[in-house]
Chains A and B, each alone.
Chain A
């Protein structure tokens, strides 16, 4: 290598290089939303995945598409934790932060582990950028970073220099700096480059110059870190001891989309998505729109209401109807959801929750739509609600939602959230032979047909229009118990309200016995639901390690609640419920079981850290 390496930038200077073995590592990439940090994080995750590690990621991006460059609110970040052991979250405090500008440093510094490494793009620390980030003095020059190992690298400048021979305009060359940064980090963890190079070439097929530029930047970053011995210590994380199999990486939204199509394939019934774009749920529409070679139709409706109404029309037509949305869209769909409950048609509504109320924090996570899901309709209108606990769990929950919907002829709300919806984790590709069959029977026999006659599950029959001799009318007006004709009879209304409630309540019969990790009885049970699974598991493990008797129960079924839940709660002296809201599940538990619980609530647009839950556990036992 005969390139000039500007050693003066390499700090701290290294003499002897050590290779240290780690159990796990947490890396965060942060920069302007135009710096390509999501892409970089994603590429890093793919490389990590190929290494056979378990991992979890957390993209964190502003709601503005291109916020003004250099500003604090324009910072976009991507965190990944990887390990040889099971990984449940993207981790709390990063071991390594890559900060592409002062704003990224400022907004992320507080999270970085004391003594952790910070790689900064030094050339972005100009007076202008410093003042946009609100720095009075340059943190690279004053004492504010003394607790960290800081690596100042002129990432922008070195990238442009590395690409000189390709003859790209400097602006275009500068855009490759994220791959340069990725190269630096890959050197730190001793990960190979070849697979990523192939992916770059595949991605920019037909744009050879750009592919070449990105590959060159990636290599240059890696080579730079190696040649100038930038890192005193590099790390290896031992490859994992995770279950053998073929894996792929899935975000929650991808997993949900795959789950919906899987349900359709298993049942042999087409899938129809009616949807309106809304953050953070839109990827479900994107994923399904790309799967038209399956029995999948997607319809980008004129609004949220048309999204659900078109799916209702499709369900009436005898296909698997689904609509995807997030909180504000859920509010708009409410009336149509009530109609679906009245029509007793199967439908799945997936709400990828975000921080509310109103527009709230569109790109940030919260679990504050639980009560809306359970109760938020006019009239007595129970609807089954289930929640996914992790990105991969969205797959199983999507299938489960359709199973319940079709078996009980009811709309089902599937709650996900912006955290698990956009975060990725490895997913072991299931064996087809292991998948439970999914049978859907349409009624075609006109003999004795009554539209609202019910089976043992209190479900009425699903009849496809076009079936001769079974023409009938459905509607939102109250109907006769058997014929489905309009009925204003007072006793009939009471009977119908009760039977709709009994039908949904009856789903509890098939909820599997609760699986508790930890002691079967004792001092403390931590009850969680949805996307907070990761931090709760880790906090409980940590508390166990500290000798505490603490058990963890994570609820998938939120309406109806499992039949053995009340008894389960009674086996513990205290119940702690961590929730990203002001205590919505807690309220349900108190109301249903007259059982007090301790709420641990957080509404900051972020999930819990392990430490937050651990500390509360330690206070309670």
Chain B
């Protein structure tokens, strides 16, 4: 079986590992697992060329449940492990599955550097805004004032937005999606998979045990369109159950407007541009908080030469200038002298 036919024949089933999945029943992580299993066969990559790397936390059990190469690392360090793997073996498709505690608290440093370096990693962050595996402490994305086991009197840590952090660190591809909008989840993952360089996807995920219902407002089919907004490149920022609301930006300030009221037309709305070089609108969107709708979709998709390509270029240049090094040259280089 040659490689191409090996890929063409792949199905969702081929990516199912023989391990029992140990997430709590109803956990949002199942949705990601399912969509990844559906996505991978269609990417034209042999199964053996996928590697999934994770850190610690509920989300980080992910690699065990997928029949690919996988490494379950240590807390927060998955991007660093994955970076080494991708640099050593650029031909592999390397994915990182992480959580809000894993990559924004203990692994914050590796996270921001993965974003800025643009190594071709696909990084999926399952954001349930709580610590699950250690049973319910606040995380860097938990709401201000939230009462958790470690913050019985209310959280006085101010949360930050993973999308803002990624954009601030210079990531080229940044998106947000949600566990139970399967269509959106799959589309977003596909876009990430196709992006050269680092691609970052925040998945709003429901932890049924420690933070159940945190995403209800953005999930409830009847009301969700009043509190969330789907981003589409080149399209005006519109939302609302009736689709008649939108976001206008005055100066640097976004505001909600209703089409048809006070003479507002679609032409007054801001238009999403995920390819904008400076990404100002993307960052503005990443800071949206109620009453502004929560944006879902691709915030930014700007291509730049991936790190591993630049790295290969350095080696080529070194060889062009100095020739491919030999062991003999290596040992006898530098200042030498003879002793007779």
A residues lining the B interface (CB < 8 Å):
46, 49-50, 52, 199, 240, 242-249, 258, 261-262, 265-266, 270, 272, 274, 291-294, 297, 299, 301-303, 305-306, 309-319, 321, 335-336, 339, 343, 429-430, 432, 464-477, 485-486
Contact = CB atoms under 8 A, between A and B. Distances in A.
Interface string B297-317: 000000000000001001100
A75 to B, nearest CB: 27
Contacts of A291: 325, 330
A339 B74 contact: yes
B67 interface: yes
Contacts of A464: 89
| 6 nearest A-B residue pairs (beta carbon) | A313-B84, A475-B72, A310-B84, A309-B80, A313-B85, A306-B80
B8 interface: no
Contacts of B91: 466
A532 B98 CA distance: 46
Interface residues of B, number: 60
B289 interface: no
B324 A293 contact: yes
A203 to B, nearest CB: 11
A430 to B, nearest CB: 7
Given A246-B337, A471-B68, A265 B84 contact: no
Contacts of B87: 272, 297, 299, 310, 313-314
Given A294-B330, A316-B71, A465 B51 contact: yes
B323 interface: yes
Nearest to A311: B84
A552 B231 CA distance: 75
A312 B88 contact: no
Contacts of A318: 88-89
B63 A473 contact: yes
A311 B335 CA distance: 31
B338 A293 contact: no
A294 B89 contact: no
B72 A52 contact: no
A307 to B, nearest CB: 8
A418 to B, nearest CB: 22
8 contacts: A246-B336, A306-B113, A312-B81, A313-B82, A471-B48, A473-B17, A475-B63, A476-B72
A312 B72 contact: no
A310 B80 contact: yes
Interface string B63-104: 110011111111001001111111111011000000000000
A310 B113 contact: no
B322 interface: yes
Nearest to A335: B74
Q: Which of A46, A199, A310, A464 has the most CB of B within 10 A?
A: A310
A477 B64 CA distance: 11
Contacts of A474: 70-72
Contacts of A312: 73, 81, 84
Q: Which of B6, B84, B85, B334 is the most central at the interface, judged by chain A CB atoms within 10 Å of its CB?
A: B84
Contacts, number: 205
Contacts of B194: none
Given A293-B321, A313-B88, A486-B64, A247 B80 contact: no
B67 A471 contact: yes
Contacts of A262: 327, 330-331
B134 interface: no
Contact of B84 (A274, A465, A485): A274
B19 interface: yes
A140 to B, nearest CB: 37
Contacts of A49: 335, 337
A161 B315 CA distance: 47
A234 B217 CA distance: 91
B238 interface: no
A488 to B, nearest CB: 11
B85 A240 contact: no
A244 B72 contact: no
B72 A248 contact: no
B12 interface: no
Contacts of A258: 330-331
B48 A485 contact: no
Given A309-B110, A466-B46, 10 more contacts: A49-B335, A199-B335, A247-B339, A309-B80, A312-B84, A313-B81, A339-B74, A432-B327, A468-B47, A476-B73
Contacts of B110: 302, 305-306, 309
Contacts of B64: 473, 475, 485-486
Nearest to A297: B87
B262 interface: no
B71 A343 contact: yes
Nearest to B311: A297
B49 interface: yes
Contacts of B336: 246-248, 429
Given A248-B332, A429-B332, A473-B17, A339 B325 contact: no
A485 B81 contact: no
Given A312-B84, A313-B80, A319-B88, A292 B113 contact: no
- Which of B85, B86, B319 has the largest number of chain A CB atoms within 10 A? B85
Nearest to B77: A309
Nearest to B68: A471
B339 A52 contact: yes
A199 B331 CA distance: 20
B85 A301 contact: no
A306 B339 contact: no
Contacts of A317: 84-85, 88-89, 92
B261 interface: no
